Structure 1
Amino acid sequence: MQRPTKAFNLPLLLAPFISRLGDALYLFGLNWFVVKATGNASLLGIIQATGGVVLFFGDLLCGVVVDNFNRKHVVVSAELLSVLGCLFCAWWLDPQHITAAPLITLTILLDIGLAFSLPAAKAMIPELITLEGRQRFNAVSNTLIDLADICSPLLGGLLLALHWLDLRGFLLLNATSFLLSFGLYLSIHYHKPAGEASQLGVKDSLVTGWRYVWQRPGLVETIVLGGLINVLFAAMRLVLPYNVNHLYGGDSSRYSYLLVILAVGGILGGLRLTLNRNEPHRRQNYHDLILAAVAILVAGFWANYWVLLVVSGIFGFCYSCFEIRAITITQNLTEPDFLGRMFGILFLAIDAFQPVGSFVFGFVTDWLANLTLVIIGGCLLLGLGIINQWYQRLIRQD
């Protein structure tokens, strides 16, 4: 593989930001309109669980596809599928009588696209960005994505307050964002490097990929931590609209502020790692995630909107720091021929338990309300202890 010579790539930086902006705006509208129409979080849990199942099976194959085919072609095709899915379901949906079928269908299509586009885009970064610029590029990319998460609830709250858009309008905005990111990915100058993965079949490629990862404890730890924190992040996103609707007056602006502060915390985490010139280390992940767990426990025991607002910022900060480090550690520890399969396995671990987690927490939230945060914080602390002990045992075995 030719050594990358650039520390920056504008289309590769902007495309995820634009698609995330439209997708986050759609999810904002989806969460609000569904909870408003049904009065509970159960349908959201079912929709997220369905998407998790799709991602699970997509992640099984995406690594093989990303390592065997041109990664640019994979990500461009995935963005195009998302555009067509949004347009089709916008035509099908009746905004006055929201039903599960079009929303579940769209979730399936979007998550098929996500299952292939995200690993392909992440696998392109080491081939286009220098080693020295990689963590900074990942940090700036994540900061832009968090900026999208700030803009989307502000814009979404404004649109809801002005009554300009129904759920169909949010869908059309999402289609537009995917169309723009499609064009940006298409403009990237990229050529598939020759490697041995192209000579392997699907079964052999999967087996070699899993064996490669299992022999590297650092990659195993990153995968398991990623799965844990993302399941609990999804649970947090279910609790927030429920709490606003049932505990804090049902004011859409209050829900917007929670998402904005969550994203502001993410931006601060991204800026922290943008300015950090040191190599990422696993111990830093544990420090940040323990802080997040303690903050969530405080919000669970103390049901107060302003406490929840502060805790949302802390959680966003810690989550962003972990995510950037996890991506950079993965890219640095993985050989180029295995990048697609490595990210496929990472996202498989993230998505594998989300169907059960989203489904369970959708109903748990209806039952325990704010105390669900106590369950989330406790699960995070317990999980961190178990994973650290597991990692130490793997190191001793090696």
Structure 2
Amino acid sequence: MPTVKSTPKSFNYPLLLAPFISRLGDALYLFGLNWFVVKATDNASLLGIIQAIGGVVLFFGDLLCGVVVDNLNRKWIVVSAELLSVLGCLGCAFWLNPQQITAAPLITLTILLDIGLAFSLPAAKAMIPELITLSGRQRFNAVSNTLIDLADICAPLLGGLLLALHWLDLRGFLLLNAGSFLLSFALYLSIRYQAPTGEASQFGVRASLITGWLYVWQRPGLVETIALGGLINVLFAAVRLVFPYDVQHLYDGDSSRYSYLLMMLAVGGILGGLRLTLDHQDPQRSQNYRDLVLAGSALILAGLWPNYWVLLAVSAVFGFCYSSFEIRAITITQNLTAPEFLGRMFGILFLAIDAFQPVGSFIFGFVTDWLANRTLVIIGGCLLIGLWLINVWHQRLTASR
């Protein structure tokens, strides 16, 4: 059968807007989840457990998603994942008792959402090189990330307003999330996409996995990107655990202060996205190290100096550095990877990101209860040490090739 390829364009609005809408609803739900759970339990341990279980689900999903994405129609994978998320939010909304929050419905929903995320995210990222031209790829990735960061700004502002007005409980946040997934489902469905057929469809699951891992291992640039992505995302999740705890215990439990922290994190992300939107140069690995060193240093400062205004500024700096790295990492991955391996490459990348999150979220949930704001010193120190180790590893791997 001849290979049928979609004609790349410089932009694709449904592919741009669908992640923004689903992220807006999901960020609003996570805002409500973090606030109501910490308020009900007075600690971050349950949040750490929920995130750890979700990380386990993502680990196994990421292990298989690359083969699925490279063998099946990528559009229908994304559409099916969004539909699963809609049904999960609706079902758990009516199971949950907002007056007596328990772990079971929240864990169930986390499992369903993370199953959808494990397959939809690699499929959507793998569609970009097929739908977007090479010259427009970094710009598209930067605008897409900027919109997602805009969603992260709107979510805490809207969430803080809803909490202040007492309009919604946790069930209401769940229903809003279901609506956002329904809209993104419709947008993905509208994309004109023809799946290419290629070599990957000739392999079984085991052979396809082995081929993908060997392909990545032979390319030090991809290995380095995977390692850096895993490190920064584990620590990003840890930072998100510290924020609601600090507000509850150091800053009078004011929900608006928690909203502002998340807003500044997203503002920094938008500035990082705008920075790369205007940058017409190819992404460089040295830029990633500079940004992540700045992020780690800022976190150490916030941990040593427990001041809300310092925490606000550091939140913006961390968001700026994280967003800049994430956009470059996605563009580097898309540019260095052959189309028939994109699904498996993103599967391995997200596997690395998710593999250590269960342990990291679980540990930092309890470390935050013990060290409070000083947990940020540990997080920043782990980032700086991790960067040094990955750089040494990359140099040795490159020398051995």
The question of a shared fold, defined as TM-score above 0.5 by the shorter chain, is answered with yes
- Which of 73, 82, 85 in structure 1 is aligned with 2:88? 85
Equivalent in the alignment of 1:121: 124
Partner residue of 1:102? 105
Is 1:302 equivalent to 2:305 in the alignment? yes
Does structure 1 retain, via aligned residues, the 8 Å contact 2:6–2:193?
no
In 1, distance between residues paired with 2:197 and 2:87? 32
Instruction: Give the CA deviation at 1:303.
Output: 0.4
Counterpart of 1:325 in structure 2 is 328
Deviations 1:48-75 (A, max 9, x none): 0000000000000000000000000000
CA contact (8 A) 2:271 2:320 kept: yes
Are the counterparts in 2 of residues 4 and 126 from structure 1 also a CA contact under 8 Å?
no
In the alignment, structure 1 segments of 5+ residues that lack a partner are none
For residues 5-54 of structure 1, give each alpha carbon's deviation from its aligned partner in whole angstroms, at most 9, with x where no partner exists: 31100000000000000000000000000000000000000000000000
Identical counterparts, % of pairs: 83
CA contact (8 A) 2:6 2:194 kept: no
CA distance in 2, matches of 1:396, 1:344: 26
Which structure 1 residue ranges, 4+ long, deviate > 3 Å from structure 2?
A: 1-5
1:54 aligns with 2:57: yes
Confirm or deny that 1:158 pairs with 2:161: yes
CA separation of 1:81 and 1:3: change in aligned 2, threshold 3 A: closer
| Separation (CA, whole Å) in 2 of partners of 1:206 and 1:396 | 26
2:228 and 2:390 in contact (8 A); partners too? yes
Tell me if structure 2 keeps the 8 A contact 1:140–1:274. yes
Gaps of 5+ in 2: none
The 5-angstrom pairing of residues 188-227 of structure 1 reads 188-227=191-230
User: What CA distance in whole angstroms lies between the structure 1 residues aligned with 2:8 and 2:68?
Assistant: 26
Match of 2:149 among 146, 150, 167: 146
Work out whether residues 239 and 372 of structure 1, in 8 Å CA contact, stay in contact via their aligned partners in 2. yes
How many pairs were matched up?
A: 398
Q: Tell me what 2:240 maps to.
A: 237
1:261 corresponds to: 264
State how far apart, in whole Å, the 2-side matches of 1:7 and 1:92 are: 44
2:389 aligned with 1:393: no
Corresponding residue for 1:382?
385
Q: What does residue 21 of structure 1 align with?
A: 24
* 1:268 positional shift: 0.1
Q: Give the distance between the partners of 1:38 and 1:115, measured in 2 at CA.
A: 29
Give the Å deviation of 1:236.
0.1
> Do the aligned partners of residues 224 and 155 (structure 1) sit closer, same or farther apart at CA in structure 2, a change above 3 Å counting?
same
1:178 aligns to 2:178 (yes or no): no
Secondary structure class of the residue paired with 2:43: coil
Amino acid at match of 1:154: L
Q: Which secondary structure state, in structure 1, belongs to the residue aligned with residue 309 of structure 2?
A: helix
2:370 partner letter: W
Instruction: Give the TM-score normalised by structure 2.
Output: 0.99
SS of equivalent residue, structure 2 residue 197: coil
C-alpha separation between the residues in 2 aligned to 1:394 and 1:352?
22
Task: Please list the CA deviations of residues 267-325 of structure 1 after superposition, one character each: whole Å capped at 9, or x if unmatched.
Answer: 00000000000000111000000000110000000000000000000000000000000
Compute the RMSD of aligned alpha carbons. 0.6
Give the distance between the partners of 1:340 and 1:191, measured in 2 at CA: 16
Counterparts of residues 268-347 of structure 1 (less than 5 Å): 268-347=271-350
Shift of 1:194: 1.2
Distance 2:6 2:332 in 1: 19
